[in-house]
Structures are given as structure tokens and as C-alpha cells.
Amino acid sequence: MFFLVDYSFIKTKREILLPLRQKPSSKMRRKLGDRSRSTPAANGRGIARVDADVRIPLNARDKLAGKWFEKLVALQARLRAANGCPWDREQTHESLRKFLIEETYEVLDAMETGDARELSGELGDLLLQIIFHAILAEETGKFTISDVIESVHTKMVRRHPHVFGDTKAATSSEVLKNWEQIKASERAAVDDLEKGSRQDAGGAARRILADVPRSFPAVLEAYQLTRRAARIGFDWPDISGILDKLDEEKRELQSLVVANTTNSTQGARHTPARIEEEVGDLLFAGVNIARFLGIDPEIALKKANRKFRERFDYMEDAASAEGKQFANLSRERKEEMWNRSKLAEQDKSSRVKKTAKAGNAR
């Protein structure tokens, strides 16, 4: 399927490309000069370039995508240019942060709906954010969208020696193990190049978990920390060990809560910080279980949130149908409606499965 797009609002092709053809800044000229003089053996970070001899044929899909990508980059540059869009011209890397996060979550929501058209649109919005940031960087001579693409292309070739080299990797676990070893070598190369600036305070080699941002949301940080540790062999031998750990953390929390209840009148209470610590350990164990089972804990929790929301909406609707406010019902009545919502959910799921089965039979 092809879509016709009206570009009549753009005066000329030259106009939309003009921002990309303007004379580069002195800083950008120096950067481009340095790149042209650099040897193909290494990139700017001191990491070996391995993609010089890689030849991947381009098909019609790739060429069409390239044309549309060029148009999108030129369009965003035009919006930032003189006489462009006032809103776009005001934006900075900092002001766009919230939009990058929002667009990422909207992509995840579109994935859950299963609507291909919606997913396509949301992925486009996310792609625009990447281009926007690259245009901002280009204006200050830091990097261009070509640098962004070249960097990830080179990295993907370098980290897939089992495809583009002689390394053997028959399973996903072997691929991931090689991936971590390559990343460790990359970190070591950066450390050697930049000496103390990329090392920890004690001058030791860069740590395995150093690249997991502390600014990540807690669930994502826990997931990435345990993933990195597992990839180098620091993991449980089977799921039973992690489930036992979950039970252990649960018992420790229970003992604190019971002790606080028992000693409520005696003053020997555990501090909120101590209880908070045990709650954190319990949540960390839950994330680790998801990771071990190959489940993204953020996605799993989002689905659980959606299920709770749907059940709660059902209870509110049921109470309203009886002419009552859900908040005013007794605890027993609320529990009864909760069980009804679960049964309604099961009935709906059963009908969907039957419909799908009937459709496949045709």
C-alpha cells in the first residue's frame, strides 16, 4: 500500500533541503576533517572498526525507507530553520526529554492493543524524536544523524561476529555471552584511551554494572542489573532457588510487621527505613523471577495494572447499575463484586477464544 502525501505547502525541494546544505560550523568542519583523516582501523572512541568489508545487499524496501528517511530529516531541519516552526525552534534536548519518554510508552501501549496501524504511527513519532535530537546536536557541531546511524550500524556488526565473522554461536545464550565479552572489551578500550576519566574513583577497570544508569526507573534498573550479572554467569541454577529467595524475603518482611504489631505498645518498633529495605528486597526478588523466566517485568506489571483497572471499572459499573456508589459499599460487598469481575473476565476471554477458533476453522 502506498500513500500520497501533499507537499504543496513546501515551496521548493531546494527550500526543504536548505538547512542541511548551509555552511557547517567551524567545529563541525574540524570534526568532518578529523573523520576523513582517521584510519579505518578505529573509530573516535578507540574501538576497532570491523564493518569495512561487510556488504549487505539493499532491496526495494531498504531503498524506499532511505528515501522517506531523507525526507523526514530534511523536514525536521526545515522546521528548525529560520522562518520555520516557532515551537520547534524553541526546543532543546532538555525540553524534549518528556516527549521521548511519552512516545516510548505510547509505542508500548500500541503494542498491547495489537493495532498495526497505531503501532506504525507511534513508532514514527518515536523516530521523529531521535531525528529531532540529532538535528539539535548538528546545530551545535556535536554530531549528526549520520553519526547516530553509523555508530549503531558499526556496533551491530562488531557485536555479531557469529554472523559477520568467524565466531561460533549456536544458541541465544552463547550470543549473549559473546555480546557481554565484546562490550567488556569495548569498555576496556575506552578506559585505555581516556585513562582516569572513564575509570572509577580508585583507578580500577570499569565495572560490569557501570553502564546501567542509576537514573533508570527502579524496575528497569533491577531488571538490567540482574540481566548483566546473569550474562557473565552470576545467576541461579534454576527457578526454584529464586522462588525460595522470594519466600525468604516475604518471611523477613512478615516478621518485621508482626514484631511491630506485637511491640506497638512497648516501643520496640522497627523503623520505617528497615521495613522499606525489606519491601525493596521483596520487589527485587520479584523482578529477578521475571527476568529468569524471560519476561520483561515492566510489561508484566503494565498488564497487571490494566487488568486491575478493568476489574475496578467493572465493579464501579456494577454498583452504579444497582443505584449505589461503589465507595459506600461494605467490604464484604466489594469483595463479592471483585469476584464477579474475575468471572466476567474469564467469560469474556472464553468468548474471544471461541470466536478466534471459529475464525480459524473457516
CA-nearest of 170, 186, 176, 153 to 54 is 153
Picking from 29-38, 47-56, 244-253, 299-308, which range would have the lowest pLDDT averaged per residue? 29-38
256 pLDDT above the threshold of 80: yes
Please identify which residue in the block is written with the cell numbers 508482626: 258
Residue 160, domain member (yes or no): yes
State whether 179 and 84 are in the same domain. Answer: yes
Of 262 and 278, the one with more pLDDT: 278
C-beta separation of 228 from 212 below 8 A: yes
Of 346 and 128, the one with more pLDDT: 128
C-beta separation of 167 from 161 below 8 A: yes
State whether 90 and 163 are in the same domain. Answer: yes
CA-nearest of 285, 300, 216 to 252 is 285
Amino acid at site 128: L
The C-alpha R_g of the chain, in whole angstroms, comes to 27
The per-residue pLDDT for 14 is 36
Residue 141, domain member (yes or no): yes
Residue 204, domain member (yes or no): no
Residue 209, domain member (yes or no): no
Residue 288, domain member (yes or no): yes
The per-residue pLDDT for 265 is 55
Picking from 29-33, 207-211, 257-261, which range would have the lowest pLDDT averaged per residue? 29-33
State whether 134 and 192 are in the same domain. Answer: yes
As for how many domains the chain has, the answer is: 3
Helices (H), 272-296: 272-292
**How many residues are listed for the chain in this entry?**
362
Average pLDDT over residues 244-271: 82
Q: Which domain holds residue 274?
A: 218-292
State whether 136 and 170 are in the same domain. Answer: yes
pLDDT tens by residue, 184-225: 888 777 766 655 544 555 555 568 898 898 988 899 999 999
Residue 227, domain member (yes or no): yes
State whether 43 and 163 are in the same domain. Answer: yes
Rounded to whole angstroms, how far apart are CA atoms 326 and 94? 43
State whether 157 and 255 are in the same domain. Answer: no
State whether 182 and 241 are in the same domain. Answer: no
353 pLDDT above the threshold of 80: no
State whether 123 and 92 are in the same domain. Answer: yes
Backbone angles phi, psi at 341, to 5 degrees: -65, -35
Question: All 3 cell numbers of residue 215?
Answer: 537514573
Q: pLDDT-based confidence at 22, cuts 50/70/90? A: very low
State whether 284 and 314 are in the same domain. Answer: no
Of 86 and 105, the one with more pLDDT: 86
The per-residue pLDDT for 105 is 87
The per-residue pLDDT for 210 is 87
The CATH number assigned to the domain holding 90 equals 1.10.287.1080
Three-state SS at 27: helix
Q: pLDDT-based confidence at 37, cuts 50/70/90? A: very low
Three-state SS at 60: helix
C-beta separation of 298 from 223 below 8 A: yes
C-beta separation of 190 from 198 below 8 A: yes
156 pLDDT above the threshold of 60: yes
The per-residue pLDDT for 215 is 84
Q: pLDDT-based confidence at 349, cuts 50/70/90? A: confident
State whether 152 and 269 are in the same domain. Answer: no
Of these ranges, 25-34, 130-139, 254-263, the one predicted with the greatest mean pLDDT is 130-139
Picking from 18-32, 64-78, 259-273, 333-347, which range would have the lowest pLDDT averaged per residue? 18-32
State whether 256 and 109 are in the same domain. Answer: no
State whether 79 and 148 are in the same domain. Answer: yes
Picking from 186-195, 230-239, 308-317, 330-339, which range would have the lowest pLDDT averaged per residue? 186-195
Domain boundary among 250, 265, 292: 292
85 pLDDT above the threshold of 80: yes
Question: All 3 cell numbers of residue 269?
Answer: 518498633
Of 222 and 302, the one with more pLDDT: 222
Q: What percent of the chain has pLDDT over 90?
A: 54
Rounded to whole angstroms, how far apart are CA atoms 270 and 259? 8
Domain boundary among 292, 310, 330: 292
DSSP, res 231: H
Residue 358, domain member (yes or no): no
Would you list the DSSP string of 157-183? HHT-HHHHSS----SHHHHHHHHHHHH
| pTM of structure | 0.57
Residue 80, domain member (yes or no): yes
Rounded to whole angstroms, how far apart are CA atoms 319 and 334? 9
C-beta separation of 144 from 138 below 8 A: yes
Rounded to whole angstroms, how far apart are CA atoms 340 and 314? 9
Domain boundary among 292, 308, 335: 292
